[in-house]
Structure 1
Amino acid sequence: MTITSWLRRAAAISVCLAVLTPTAAPLAVATPSDGISGVTLSQTTIEGRDYLLREITIEPGGSTGWHWHDGTVFGVVRAGTLTHNRADCSLDGVYGPGDQITEPGGPAHVHIGRNLGPTPVVMQAVYLLPIAAPLMQDAPDPGCGYS
C-alpha cells in the first residue's frame, strides 16, 4: 500500500467515525495560568513520593488558572495577598504574609489562586506528589467566570 492510498483510507475512516460517533458536548478547555512563575528550591524522593519546595510568584492581575494536584500542597504566603477559590466558586480564603494554605490532592479539589492586589504574591510551597507527577493538572473554569 502506498502512502497516498494509506492516507486516503485513514481519511475515509476518520470521516466515517465522525459521522457515526454520537455528538457530545464540546470538550472543556483548561484555563491557562497568567503572570505566574516558579522556581524549584529543593527536590527529593523518599519512599515513593517526590517532595518539592518551590517559590511561586504571581504578578498583580495574575492567576494560577483552574487546576488540581496529584498530592497535597502546603504553602505559606511571604508577600502580597492571595485570593483562593474552590470549584464551587466559594472563597476558600484571602491569604496575606505569614498565612498558611493547604491544598488537598485529587480532581475533587479543583481550585484557583489569584492576585487581585497591587503587589506580587510570593509564596513558598511544598508539594507531596507521586514520583514524576506534574506539579498540577489543568482544569476548565467550573463556571465561576474568572481565570
Structure 2
Amino acid sequence: MRSLLRAATAGAVTVTAVLACGTAHATPPGPGVSGRVLFQTTIGDTDYTLREVTIPAGQATGWHYHDGPLRGYVKQGTLSHFDSTCASDGVYTQGSTISEPAGSDYVHIGRNLGSTPLVLDVLYVLPHGSPFSQDAPNPGCAFE
C-alpha cells in the first residue's frame, strides 16, 4: 500500500512539474510603471476612463491586451510599440496619437527605450467592469 501511495505521489509530482514548466506566464509591468485616473464615467454598458500612464526610462507595460479599444496621446517621451510577432508596429513621439483595437488577438507591449519618463494620456473604452488590460504571456520575444 505504501509503495502504491509513493508511486501515485511521485506521479502527481512529475505531472505537476511538467505542467508548471509548460505553462506560459504573464509578464507584469516593469518597476515604476504607474497610472492614475483623470476622469471616469459609465454610459450604458460602457466605461470611459481617461488615465495618465507613466513608464520610466527602460521599462515596459508587460504583454497585454484590452477588452475594448483605446486611444492614447504621448505627452512626453517616446513610446515603442511591439505586436505579438515581436515586430515594431509603431514608434510614437511627443504629440503623437495611438489607437489600439480590442481583443485577445491583439497582444502587445509598450516600451520606453528612451532616457526620460514616457507619459501617456489614454482613453479606455471598455465593457462595464472590465479591467484596463488583461495580462498575456510573452509570445516568445527576446525582450519583455
Matched, 1:76 2:73: yes
The structural deviation recorded for 1:55 is: 0.3
Runs of 4+ in 1 over 2 A off after TM superposition: none
Q: For 1:109, what is the secondary structure of its paired residue?
A: coil
Give a deviation string over 1:42-84, Cα, whole Å, max 9, x none.
0000021000000000000110000000000100101001100
Among 112, 137, 140, the residue aligned to 2:137: 140
Matched, 1:28 2:24: yes
Gap regions ≥5 residues in structure 1: 1-13
**CA–CA separation in structure 2 for the residues paired with 1:143 and 1:68:** 16
Give a deviation string over 1:65-115, Cα, whole Å, max 9, x none.
000000001001010011000001111111011100011110000000000
**CA–CA separation in structure 1 for the residues paired with 2:118 and 2:66:** 20
Aligned positions, number: 134
Aligned CA RMSD, in angstroms, stands at: 2.1
Aligned to 1:8: none
Aligned to 1:56: 53
**CA–CA separation in structure 2 for the residues paired with 1:80 and 1:59:** 10
**CA–CA separation in structure 1 for the residues paired with 2:52 and 2:120:** 6
**CA–CA separation in structure 2 for the residues paired with 1:106 and 1:145:** 23
Aligned to 2:104: 107
The structural deviation recorded for 1:18 is: 4.0
Q: For 2:113, what is the secondary structure of its paired residue?
A: coil
Gap regions ≥5 residues in structure 2: 1-7
Among 78, 93, 98, the residue aligned to 2:95: 98
Identity of aligned residues (%): 51
